[in-house]
Amino acid sequence: MKIYQRIVTLTAMLGLLVLPTLARMGFDKNEFLSKPFSQWTKSEATKILNDSPWALIQEERSFGVINSQFPNDFKFTLRLRSALPVRQALMRMKQLEANYDKMSASDKTAFDAKNKGTLDCPACAQNYVVTLSSSSESQRDFDWVFRTYRSATLESVQNYIFLAVDKGEKRSLVHFIPSKAIGGEAMFFFPRFDDKGSPLVTPNNKKLRFQISSSDGSLSKNFEFDVAKLLLNGEVAF
């Protein structure tokens, strides 16, 4: 069965109702970004990853007859992975897990070198990178993203996943890394620049949209970001 046939079948069986994207309440960029990320607490780093302008959470709940083979709820988390604040938050989470703040100077240097890729993200210079994960409260071992994309190839999904801005321009998928385990993230890469060297997203844009749709048009998921809220020092942080 093709990948998007599985998505449509699952959606139809559950009778999923898409709930509004969860609002980001009380996020103050100045509060978080006025100090070095190495001073962020775990709750501050988590807020960047889950409740900031660079992350959207979308929930779906089932209605009608529930099929016991599948959960009756899903939560999808989309992150603008190439955005510097997200990279910093991921790095900070690694630091906190490793008890970085209590390391010696030499151990910190070794840690920084080992995890340099998380923060620097060499691929981000030429690509917008987005990650998508999912979870379910009713069946914690059921991961929609992992189940759907674990066997997918770039060729099987690239015509149905894209980034777009409000002026109609969009970027097609050029690289894809499926999540490796339940609870992981699938990573999607889109060209940052067009043939003229212009980026897709600029301060002049109002909206940025990540969309996944099925080949027959029966399923479409959209995650929409407010570009003005992505600005840092007048530039789009993505």
pLDDT tens-digit readout, 119-157 = 999 999 999 999 999 888 878 888 888 888 888 889 988
Q: pTM for this structure?
A: 0.85
Is residue 219 within 8 A of residue 7, CB to CB? The reply is yes
Domain of 30 in residue numbering reads as 3-236
- List, for residues 61-119, the tens digit of each pLDDT value: 765 555 566 677 888 999 999 999 999 999 999 999 999 999 999 999 999 999 999 99
Residue 114 has a pLDDT of 97
Q: Fill in the DSSP letter of residue 20.
A: P
How many alpha carbons fall within 13 Å on the CB side of residue 125?
A: 4
Q: What is d(CA 107, CA 109) in angstroms, rounded to the nearest whole number?
A: 5
What's the structural domain count of the chain?
Answer: 1
